[in-house]
Amino acid sequence: MIRKAAAAALLLLCACNTANAQPPGQLPPSNNPAQMNRDAPETRGPVRNLEPQAGQEITTIRYWKIRKGGFPEFLKASQQGVWPYFEKIGARIVGMWLVIPPPGGKEASPDYDEVYLTTRYASAEHWAATRDAAAMGGDGPDYAALQAGLAMRQSLTIETKVTFLQGVVGPLPPAYMPGTGEKFIEAP
């Protein structure tokens, strides 16, 4: 009898944990980082995760126009607040870059800086689930750091958009191998 009651309680707990899950392939109602996780402190607590879910990996490229000169703050908020939490919930940060003018090219805008972030996710469903990060990672101190990082980034943001990519990462990293500058002469 105790086993049946425990099994029923476990099934009820599992049903409660999955009842609010987003249907596979459906994006959450908001892709605005400022809106992400806005109600989590009232609705979330500690979590226990299921096993990793199979899927086709995607990479996102997020673009921002940010306040001119704000990149150091933007990067720090990402490195100290946002990225550790996202790494915890399975995303993999590839890197973040400030757009710079090419040698001899057009100068950057005097009004704003441009930033790109590339992140890898296990699937499109994984990306969608990260829009409610607290459901996978809980609402502890690292969640507070995530919220502070997102708020800082939002305060610097003029505009943002995300692009989804699917493909294969190349096997070799880039290598820069300049010539030595040596002069060769024919042997006598």
**CATH code at position 112:** 3.30.70.100
CB 122 within 8 A of CB 55: yes
| In a domain? residue 134 | yes
Q: Which of these, 151, 177, 164, 156, lies nearest to 73 by C-alpha position? A: 156
| In a domain? residue 118 | yes
| In a domain? residue 23 | no
Overall pTM surpassing 0.85 (yes/no): no
| In a domain? residue 73 | yes
- The per-residue pLDDT for 46 is 61
| In a domain? residue 49 | no
| In a domain? residue 86 | yes
| In a domain? residue 39 | no
Q: State which residues of the chain have pLDDT below 70.
A: 1-50, 52-53, 173-174
How far is residue 153's CA from residue 107's CA, in Å, rounded to a whole number? 24
- The per-residue pLDDT for 5 is 45
- The per-residue pLDDT for 180 is 77
Q: Which of these, 121, 94, 124, 147, lies nearest to 23 by C-alpha position? A: 124
- The per-residue pLDDT for 24 is 42
pLDDT tens-place string over residues 96-134:
999 999 999 899 999 999 999 999 999 999 999 999 988
- The per-residue pLDDT for 78 is 98
CB 86 within 8 A of CB 119: yes
| In a domain? residue 34 | no
Which domain covers residue 153, as residue numbers? 57-101+108-169
- The per-residue pLDDT for 15 is 37
Quote the number of domains for the chain.
1
DSSP class of 79: I
